[in-house]
Amino acid sequence: MAVQPWRRVPGKALLFLLNLFSAVALIFEGYNQGVFGTVSGTPGFIAMANIGYDDIVTDATKQGGLAAAYYFGAMIGCLVGGWTADKIGRKKGVAIGAVFCLLGSALMSGSVNSDMFICARIIAGIGIGFVNTIIPSWVSELSSAHNRGSNFSLVFVANYLGIVIAYWLNFGIRDSDPDFRWRFPLAFMSVPMLMVLGSTPLLPEWLIANHRRAEAIDILTKLRGDLAHDDPKLVAEIEQLDAIVENSAHKRNSYINIFLGGRYSGPLHLGRRAIMGAALQTIQQWTGILAIATWAETDPAAAEALGTAAASFAFVFLWFFTMLNIVPCWIYGSEIWPQEVRAKGYSMTIMGWAIGCGVTGFVIPIMLSRLGYGTFLFFGAMNAISAPIIYFFYPEVANKTLEEVNLLFTSDSLLVSKNMAAYHVRIQDADGNVATAARRLFDEADGYERSGVSYGDESDPEKKEVDADTREKV
């Protein structure tokens, strides 16, 4: 039998260590965002990539392309990573992602030309696609309902920590050998992923789905504070996991059907949730975060002229972004999904992140070279535009159970007001019982899945029969 050191750790300490493990994995992405802008402006890197001379970049388009290649890899990694996690487990999926990140980091630091560097960026991007898809679902599944938000917040602070580490490391070696100034920071990216390749338990949901029920119960008893196996809370959670595993077999939960607009999901509107999660992450990138996190320190002359005040404002911006933007956006993208399809659905959210980062990562150096400070005025305007989009189209999910969240997306309208009206009607029809309303909703979705009729096609007589059937049953 394999050695399982987690069995010897007290329950609360184990949960803390697992959240720490998750945080370390996410340091890699924050570090990547913070390190590239500076290293790509060093004389050694400029010469290697052939994007200019001395410390002057003359080919901003190529520089942007080198940055964006990482996110192209992430687009691949997020889709493959979600599928892999469902097949072989979250732990092994993260380990595969970590190996890709390590290999990419090593190849980036050893690159001899831009072609090799682009390949290395894509490999590292595939790895972070795995990690960013699996880790948030990991945190969500490990947490109890009442502390899921706080656990997410603490874990995602690691993203900010990675950026800070990159800034200080680049600052500390600014007077070093030209090659060392860019090769060492890129090699240092491997440190978080070396720490990730440790021994951690598998997740209960995957264990139950793969007929390892006893081990799943053992892990849950640990994570919930060393509870007894017959504790009512634990028994209820195991029953919920059984239901999740059973429901995951529905064809509406397949990758292809979610990707094709949520076929067979009926009033659950899984396709809409996929678009909302991806769009939210894309919107987040157009706030201009990469203009600050990646490129804020790429003009040494301006930095020296502006002094510590400008540096302080960059850190303040990143702190507020991390706590008030990145954390809510990443939590939201996870919370909007039914639990049985969360890993697959969340991969669509990460696809939006990869697209948003890839596009902005490519255009920002071009914008900075041509628009200068106008780049930041543009991103300020994008923030103003995004605010009403969030207000009118994204229902609030805070302080709501998973059953309540599923009831928030049942209207055919995209507007929050219409979905909230439908939410209250369904709960009222269930005499105020949220669990009953949620059960009726899933029965209705099951009716559409069995019929194979597309939801929302009011002209289809088969759909009308399905509507009548489901209403009669519920």
Rounded to a whole number of angstroms, the distance between the first and last alpha carbons of the chain is: 48
Residue 193 confidence (pLDDT) above 80 = yes
Residue 395 confidence (pLDDT) above 90 = yes
Specify the higher pLDDT residue, 30 or 73: 73
Specify the higher pLDDT residue, 254 or 360: 360
Report the percentage of the chain scoring pLDDT > 70: 84
The pLDDT assigned to 108 comes to 96
Over residues 17-25, the mean pLDDT reads 80
Could you tell me whether strands 56-57 and 52-53 are parallel, antiparallel, or unpaired per DSSP bridges? Answer: antiparallel
Nearest to 248 by CA among 385, 442, 22: 442
Kindly report the backbone phi and psi dihedral angles of residue 225, in degrees, each rounded to the nearest multiple of 5, phi listed first: 95, 35
Residue 341 CA to residue 137 CA, distance in Å, equals: 10
Of 7-21, 111-125, 365-379, the range with the highest mean pLDDT is 111-125
The answer for residues whose C-beta is within 8 angstroms of residue 236's C-beta and 6 or more apart is none
Of 80-89, 121-130, 212-221, 371-380, the range with the highest mean pLDDT is 121-130
SS3 content of the chain, % helix, strand, coil (to 5): 80, 0, 20
* DSSP structure class, residue 408: G
Report the percentage of the chain scoring pLDDT > 90: 33
Count, in order, helices (H) and strands (E) of the chain. 22, 2
What is the pTM for the complete model shown?
Answer: 0.80
Over residues 324-329, the mean pLDDT reads 82
Specify the higher pLDDT residue, 76 or 83: 76
Residue 270 CA to residue 348 CA, distance in Å, equals: 11
Over residues 194-199, the mean pLDDT reads 72
pLDDT band at 296 (very low <50, low <70, confident <90, very high): low
The pLDDT assigned to 426 comes to 93
pLDDT band at 372 (very low <50, low <70, confident <90, very high): confident
The pLDDT assigned to 201 comes to 53
Residue 343 confidence (pLDDT) above 90 = no
pLDDT tens track for 234-279: 777 777 677 666 666 678 888 788 888 778 888 899 999 999 999 9
pLDDT band at 465 (very low <50, low <70, confident <90, very high): very low
Residue 58 CA to residue 414 CA, distance in Å, equals: 45
Handedness of CA 271, 272, 278, 279 (dihedral sign): positive
- How far from chain centre, in Å, is Cα 449? 28
The pLDDT assigned to 462 comes to 42
Residue 301 confidence (pLDDT) above 80 = no
Residue 459 confidence (pLDDT) above 50 = no
Residue 77 confidence (pLDDT) above 90 = yes
The answer for residues whose C-beta is within 8 angstroms of residue 321's C-beta and 6 or more apart is 287, 289, 292
Specify the higher pLDDT residue, 391 or 264: 391
The pLDDT assigned to 464 comes to 42
The pLDDT assigned to 466 comes to 40
Structure tokens at 140: 């969500």
The pLDDT assigned to 458 comes to 42
Residue for token pair 């009118």: 392
Specify the higher pLDDT residue, 33 or 304: 33
pLDDT band at 474 (very low <50, low <70, confident <90, very high): very low
- How far from chain centre, in Å, is Cα 308? 33
The pLDDT assigned to 205 comes to 64
